[in-house]
Amino acid sequence: MIFDRNEKKAVIALMGAGSMGTAIVRRIASGKKILLGDISEKALERVGEDFSRCGYDVETMQVNALQKESIEAFAQKASDLGPVMYFIDTAGASPNQASPEHIVNLDMVGTGYAVDAFGKVMAQGGAGLIISSQAAYMYPIPNDIELQLVNTPTKELTQVPFIQEVAMQNSGLAYMIAKRMNHLQAQRAAATTWRDRRARINTISPGVIVTPLAYDEFRANGEGYQAMIDASAARRTGTSDEIAEAAAFLLGEHATFITGTDLLVDGGVIASIRTGEYKLGQ
């Protein structure tokens, strides 16, 4: 049975087929073509079958978010399918999952390669979204260093002394700095390559969101996360569906004047930190 006879459908490309990314795609995917990318063939098979059984037009492609060539091939595949109107990047590793080097290479450099690659294929009027983290607000980077980082080509980021001397110290610092760099990468793209294609790009910084992968963090530092949750205004964790609602706004028609910015969706954690109601590490 043919569920959809429409042709030249808008393409949604998702890099990182986890629960948060798939929630975002499901929120906006009706009547569109979906391209799922992930390093795990099992995850692609499982998620792709789920989308297909629910009536969505979906294809999958194995992609290594650490490799520039693999990311570029993924972007080209998306372009071959039709006009790329949406790109969502959720690929990343958390502090208790990986070494500082891996986090820098995946969350920072890999994201930069993805922003660069999709900056060459986005359709006019398209929108991109990088999933960053509230951690981006937890380590202030001096303005002169941020200016240096935002003007450094992606392939040279790991050679910046600040990255070598600070981000590589431990996984927590690597994660906070990489996620702040996501904001800078979106700003740079919004003002240059994505602007030239008349496309927008933004970031979302989620707080404590319950996903299957989040349990690695909870197991490693449950008391710390509990204190953070208790000190927040919301006094609870968030869900992938709540992030999907925010993402649908930034990707949609009501946000066409918004580009190069970050939306913090954290239940008030960063507000608690800045007012002294919660201290990191307490």
Q: What is the CATH number of the domain that holds 132?
A: 3.40.50.720
Domain of 94, in residue numbers: 11-207+241-267
Over 90: is that where the pLDDT of 220 sits?
no
Q: How many domains does the chain contain in total?
A: 1
Q: Give residue 31's pLDDT band: very low, low, confident or very high (50, 70, 90).
A: very high
pLDDT tens column, 70-88: 999 999 999 999 999 999 9
Percent with pLDDT over 90 in the chain: 87
User: How far apart are alpha carbons 24 and 246 in whole angstroms?
Assistant: 9
Catalytic residue among 86, 175, 215, 225: 175
The CA distance from 53 to 46, in Å, is: 11
Q: Taking the CA atoms of the chain, what radius of gyration do you get in angstroms?
A: 18
Question: Considering the domain boundaries, does residue 280 fall inside one?
Answer: no
pLDDT value at residue 164: 96
Active site residue 278: no
CA atoms within 13 A on the CB side of 14: 32
Kindly report the pTM of this predicted structure: 0.94
CA distance 202 to 129: 5
Q: Determine phi and psi for 201, rounding to 5 degrees.
A: -150, 135
Q: Is the pLDDT of residue 280 over 90?
A: no
Structure confidence by residue, pLDDT tens digits, 87-146: 999 999 888 889 999 999 999 999 999 999 999 999 999 999 999 999 999 999 999 999
Report the alpha-carbon distance of residue 279 to residue 266 in Å, rounded.
16
Question: Is 182 part of a structural domain of the chain?
Answer: yes
Exposure string of 183-207, with b = 16+ CB inside 10 Å and e = fewer, is: bbbbbbbbeebbeebebbbbbbbbb
For residues 207-227, average pLDDT: 84
Q: Residue 180 falls within a domain, yes or no?
A: yes
Question: Residue 225: what pLDDT?
Answer: 85
In a domain, 215, yes or no: no
In a domain, 72, yes or no: yes
Looking at residue 54, what is its pLDDT? 94
Residue of 32, 56, 179, 278 with catalytic role: 179
Query: Is 137 annotated as catalytic?
Result: no
When pLDDT is cut at 50, 70 and 90, the band that residue 282 belongs to is low
pLDDT averaged over every residue in the chain: 94
Q: How far is CA 46 from CA 43, 174, 189, 202, 226, in A?
A: 5, 31, 33, 28, 32
Contact 252, 260 (CB under 8 A): no
The closest of 26, 43, 23, 46 to 34, measured between CA atoms, is: 26
